[in-house]
Structure 1
Amino acid sequence: MGYLRRMESEPRVFPPRPIRGVRARYARQAGCPSDFADVTVDFEPWEEGFAFEAADSADVTEGSCREQLPGFHAALAAGMREELADQGDGFAVAVAVVLRSVRVHDVDSHDRSFHMAGRLAVREALAQAYGPPPLPKHRA
């Protein structure tokens, strides 16, 4: 069950207010290569739909991965869209996401890492906006 499915029947708009400085770090050590992505984003109320951009002033901490950044950005945005879609009906998305900083690792950063970081960033923003997700109901 998504964060917003527990809301009353009137549609909510995400985000209800600016949610800035959301950090999502996806790091998994399961062998070589592992997974690593670390981003900080702002969620701003916007027109209906989803918009993503990297700020001109975005802080980029990277090694030799600069040519891969556009692919990482696309994977990050795709993960965000996917997580928002998984929330189901009951809310409208009207958000501009602004990438403020990104950290990558020469070996362990790849599209999958950034896709997962995008999902985590949306979960964190939803928790900041609406509180923690509902607990699963106990079946007797």
Structure 2
Amino acid sequence: MKDLKDDAFPPFPVRDIRARYVWQAGCPSDFADLTVDFEPWEDGIVLEVTPGAELVGTISESELRSWHESFVDGVREELAARGVGGVALAVVVRRTVVHDVDSSARSFRAAGRVAAREAFVRIDGPEPQPKRRRARLA
């Protein structure tokens, strides 16, 4: 019987994932910009913020903690949508950029989904693109 970690996501460290979610649809809009690492860990998902992690913008510590949790919720949602069963992941936050008006829990959740998608691209390669057909000349 295989150990869960053998089949768990991610199979290896995926570093320097830049997850940006920017949606300009009026005021306020949505904005979140994080740089994270996905590290193999114990069962489940754990959030870590590196000591000295860069914060660009002004936000209270409690709100930042809440938004980071929303980011992890977005990662969870994307993994569930892709049918990933075994998860043994440490999400390590290294840089966070916030906007005074446009950042919110919703934008951080969306950025979490973006981060998970980017991790899949780095692990599995890009999704195959449909081939273009050449026009036949008569």
Equivalent in the alignment of 1:105 = 99
- Structure 1: distance between partners of 2:87 and 2:128: 20
Q: Flag structure 2 segments of 5+ consecutive residues without an equivalent.
A: 1-5, 131-138
Equivalent in the alignment of 1:118 = 112
- TM-score where L is the length of structure 2: 0.83
Deviation at 1:135, TM superposition (A): 6.0
- Structure 2: distance between partners of 1:97 and 1:86: 18
Q: Flag structure 1 segments of 5+ consecutive residues without an equivalent.
A: 1-10
Larger radius of gyration: 2
Task: Report percent identity of matched pairs.
Answer: 53
Higher relative contact order (CA 8 A, sep 6+): 1
- TM-score where L is the length of structure 1: 0.82
Q: Are positions 1:12 and 2:7 aligned together?
A: yes
The ranges of structure 1 where at least 4 consecutive aligned residues each deviate by more than 4 angstroms after the TM superposition are none
- Structure 1: distance between partners of 2:78 and 2:68: 16
- Structure 2: distance between partners of 1:76 and 1:88: 19
Deviation at 1:134, TM superposition (A): 5.5
- Structure 2: distance between partners of 1:102 and 1:58: 8
Equivalent in the alignment of 1:66 = 60
Deviations 1:12-54 (A, max 9, x none): 3211111100001001110000010000000111112211111
- Structure 2: distance between partners of 1:125 and 1:76: 14
Deviations 1:114-140 (A, max 9, x none): 00000000000111011123569xxxx
Deviation at 1:73, TM superposition (A): 0.8
RMSD: 1.7
